[in-house]
Amino acid sequence: MKTLLLNSDDVHENAEMDELVPAIEEAFAAYQRGDAQMPPKSYIDLPKYNGDFRSMPAYLDAGEWDAAGVKWVNVHTDNEADFDLPTVMGTMIYSDPRNAFPLAILDGTELTMKRTGAAAAVATDHLAVADASSLGIVGAGVQSYTQLEAISTVRDIERVVVSDLSEERVARFIDAFEDRFDVRAGSVEEAAACDVLSTVTPVEDPIVSCEALGEHTHVNAMGADAEGKHELADEVLLDAKLVIDDYDQTTHSGEINVPYNAGVLGEDDIYGQIGEIVVGEKAGRTADDGISVFDSTGLAIQDVAAAHVVYEHANERDNGYAFDLLGLAD
């Protein structure tokens, strides 16, 4: 047996959204049923380097398949200026749960982008109005691309409004998608008025107000991944049908972390976890719902499910580089 080394291009090529979205949904369901193990994300703080490491292990049994792995990811804010490296980089080790053999080592950065978009698509499928045709995106960085790629697999998106402080980033986004969608630049308010809104920014001062949102807009709050980050006004969270991915992670570092820890928002304001909706324990969008919000912090089970999809296809297609990591060859 050999281990597959899969770079970012390999991950991109083998992570088709029409298969990735169902796999992420199955991961949420397994977690809700108790068929997954996901220890809390652990941190190694490195203040002397203005960065940190995070480890994210998980195992899940989706019924027809099971999978295990761990993602090792960093956030080093000076990387671009000092080393010409990305701020965030990740490496995924995907293992066979039967015998622990390392089946693949994957680029975790591309994997994270793909599974983050897929998670938003799962929430959108359950919480957005059925005839949603417009998507607003606030933040035109790398995460914005997979938001559109994934969400357009669960809703017939025709019109896209993208907002960002950088005109250059907006122009690149429009250039990437203008042949497939009616996509244009707009203000935060114009993006927020769409049927679906995805926010993918690192801000700590809320930029989306209640007044800006449409009457039945579904919001995917994807940007908050650390204490203090906060994209949506407290009033949005208090008035919305509020769904989270994981209680511990969202209260610590998700969109709700600031108002929750300030006592502005409490447990009674949280409708439930996305897994409860996926397995049918709680209803998704109903006729009486107005604004809905999905607070996504990103879970290790998503990484494992995404790695499963990528590895299966890469193995079938002879993608990547197979090597004898453990020195087991005769």
Within its chain, how far is the Cα of 121 from the centroid? 9
Q: What residues pair up with 273 in beta bridges, in sequence order? A: 244
Distances, alpha carbon 144 to alpha carbons 32, 172, 220, 287, in Å: 28, 11, 11, 29
SS3 197: strand
Consult the annotation and say whether 143 binds a ligand.
yes
Residue 106: partners with Cβ closer than 8 Å, 6 or more residues away: 6, 10, 11, 91, 92, 94, 307, 310, 311
Consult the annotation and say whether 115 binds a ligand.
yes
Residue 218: partners with Cβ closer than 8 Å, 6 or more residues away: 123, 124, 127, 128, 129, 132, 195, 196, 197, 285, 291, 292, 293, 294
Consult the annotation and say whether 33 binds a ligand.
no
Q: Is 71 a catalytic residue?
A: yes
Q: How many CA atoms lie within 13 A of 244 on its CB side?
A: 24
Consult the annotation and say whether 184 binds a ligand.
no
Residue 18: partners with Cβ closer than 8 Å, 6 or more residues away: 153
Rg (CA), the chain: 19
Q: How many CA atoms lie within 13 A of 80 on its CB side?
A: 5
Q: Are strands 196-199 and 182-185 parallel, antiparallel or unpaired?
A: unpaired
Q: Among the options 2, 41, 48, 71, which is catalytic?
A: 71
Contact 273, 251 (CB under 8 A): no
Contact 257, 250 (CB under 8 A): yes
Consult the annotation and say whether 142 binds a ligand.
yes
Consult the annotation and say whether 114 binds a ligand.
no
- Residue 286 CB: number of other CB atoms within 10 A? 9
Distances, alpha carbon 43 to alpha carbons 55, 106, 228, in Å: 7, 21, 16
- For the record, the structure tokens of 108 come out as 């975790």
Catalytic residue numbers read 71
Bind-site residues for NAD(+): 115, 142-143, 223-225, 229, 296
Bind-site residues: 115, 142-143, 223-225, 229, 296
